[in-house]
């Protein structure tokens, strides 16, 4: 990972491999740091030494020209009352592959991307989702509907571009030793008064490897010690694949007509004739499938959801009530000016969600 002088969070984003390595850098330097202002270190740079900006440029070049990268780091986060330590193993490969394993308090978490699927495996929750294509992201950007992107798009954004927009300054503070290696100590501070991103880096003078980083947000202080870094070693592609025995890939496809979405699924898709169909999304995974249709009604949207298996589970919330729709018992929930009614028959769950009350949702469901 490297740090650009203009974007301390935007690690290796200028090239395809750089964008992916930004995941590792964000994890090891920023993401796990809860980055904030670090205390300055005493000392002055010697005139014939490189500037802080030059050191960061060297780090950028060192990491950006590597075909593969792997290593381990120890991350410690502490405040006045608690301390937590995790061991992180990471790997990256040109052009868009990354994986890392976090071991903390006896629990192991894994995450990564093979370039087309982003995935994570935790103690109690796992997922794998297709990454939106650049065309998908560009189309959403052009339509001004970025916030309407599926959650996996937002996750992909944060993985591949975990950058703060504020500029930073890099200052060489001194040269010291870290575990017997000569290291530049570089202080990173934001130039934007509203920004909180800052920190201190220890960079190997011999080959521009990141050896250590510290940061604080005023409450939590974090130290990252990079215990091993290897460049251009052989890493098998299977390292970056989602573990098939623990996670299934979720795929999404969007359709612009009822006919096209019906032909794409074996589920029987009901229609809502009191509204104008706008689009439908088919969500598929190994244990089930769901179809989410959107209908425009005046200035509101009615959602009709059909699901089988675990693709779209509907839990029984504590505040649920029971309603009757065409003689069928259904569950209804209302909160935050929205309401949903749903029922299950022959293993298929149908739901109708509206902007309004339970009565509105019940009335809409009765017209399917």
pLDDT tens digits, residue range 214-224?
887 778 888 89
Whether the predicted model's global pTM rises above the 0.85 cut: no
Sort 41 into a burial class: Cβ within 10 Å, 0-12 / 13-18 / 19+.
middle
**How much is the CA Rg of the chain, to the nearest whole Å?**
25
List all residues 6 or more positions away from 93 whose beta carbon is below 8 Å from its beta carbon. 67, 68, 69, 235, 237, 239, 240
pLDDT-based confidence at residue 174 (cuts at 50, 70, 90): very high
In 68-88, which positions are buried (b, 16+ CB within 10 angstroms) versus exposed (e)? Answer: bbbbbbebebeeeeeeeebeb
List the chain domain ranges.
Answer: 16-240, 251-366
Res. 177: pLDDT tops 80: yes
Under 8 Å between Cβ of 272 and 295: yes
Mean pLDDT of 47-66: 85
pLDDT tens digits, residue range 344-356?
988 899 999 999 9
Res. 195: pLDDT tops 80: no
Mean pLDDT of 69-98: 90
Look at 9 and 253; give whichever has higher pLDDT. 253
CATH node for 251-366: 3.30.200
Mean pLDDT over the full length of the chain? 76
At 219 the pLDDT is: 81
Mean pLDDT of 234-254: 85
Nearest to 121 by CA among 31, 284, 22, 244: 244
At 137 the pLDDT is: 58
Mean pLDDT of 161-187: 77
CATH architecture of 16-240: Clam (2.50)
Look at 232 and 132; give whichever has higher pLDDT. 232
| Dihedral angle over CA of 116, 121, 126, 131, nearest 10 | -10
At 296 the pLDDT is: 93
At 310 the pLDDT is: 63
pLDDT-based confidence at residue 145 (cuts at 50, 70, 90): very low
pLDDT tens digits, residue range 295-321?
999 888 999 999 987 645 556 677 788
At 161 the pLDDT is: 30
Res. 8: pLDDT tops 50: no
How far is residue 368's CA from residue 90's CA, in Å, rounded to a whole number? 50
């Amino acid at each position: 990972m490297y740090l650009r002088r203009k974007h301390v969070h935007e690690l290796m984003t200028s090239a395809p491999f750089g964008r992916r390595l930004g995941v590792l850098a964000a994890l090891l330097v920023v993401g796990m740091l809860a980055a904030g202002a670090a205390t300055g270190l005493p000392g002055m740079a010697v005139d014939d030494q490189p500037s802080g900006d030059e050191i960061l440029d060297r780090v950028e070049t060192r990491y950006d020209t590597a075909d593969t990268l792997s290593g381990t780091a120890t991350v410690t986060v502490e405040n006045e009352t608690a301390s937590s330590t995790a061991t992180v193993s990471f790997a990256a490969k040109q052009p868009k592959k990354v994986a890392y394993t976090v071991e903390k308090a006896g629990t192991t978490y894994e995450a990564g991307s093979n370039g087309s699927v982003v995935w994570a495996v935790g103690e109690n929750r796992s997922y794998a989702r297709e990454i939106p294509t650049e065309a998908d992201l560009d189309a959403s950007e052009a339509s001004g509907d970025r916030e309407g992107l599926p959650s996996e798009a937002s996750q992909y954004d944060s993985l591949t571009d975990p950058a703060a927009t504020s500029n930073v300054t890099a200052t060489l503070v001194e040269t010291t030793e870290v575990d017997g290696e000569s290291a530049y100590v570089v202080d990173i501070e934001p130039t934007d008064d509203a920004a909180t991103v800052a920190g201190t880096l220890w960079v190997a003078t011999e080959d521009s490897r990141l050896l250590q980083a510290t940061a604080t947000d005023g409450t939590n202080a974090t130290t990252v010690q990079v215990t091993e870094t290897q460049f251009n070693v052989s890493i098998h592609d299977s390292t970056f694949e989602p573990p098939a025995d623990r996670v299934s890939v979720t795929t999404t496809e969007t359709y612009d007509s009822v006919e096209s979405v019906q032909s794409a699924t074996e589920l029987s898709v009901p229609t809502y004739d009191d509204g104008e169909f706008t689009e439908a999304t088919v969500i598929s995974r190994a244990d089930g499938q769901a179809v989410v249709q959107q209908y425009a009604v005046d200035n509101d949207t009615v959602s009709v959801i059909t699901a089988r298996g675990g693709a779209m589970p509907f839990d029984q919330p504590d505040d649920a009530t029971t309603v009757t729709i065409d003689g069928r018992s259904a569950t209804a929930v209302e909160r935050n000016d929205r309401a949903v009614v749903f029922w299950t028959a022959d293993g298929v769950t149908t739901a109708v969600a509206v902007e309004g009350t339970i009565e509105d949702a019940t009335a809409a469901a009765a017209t399917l």
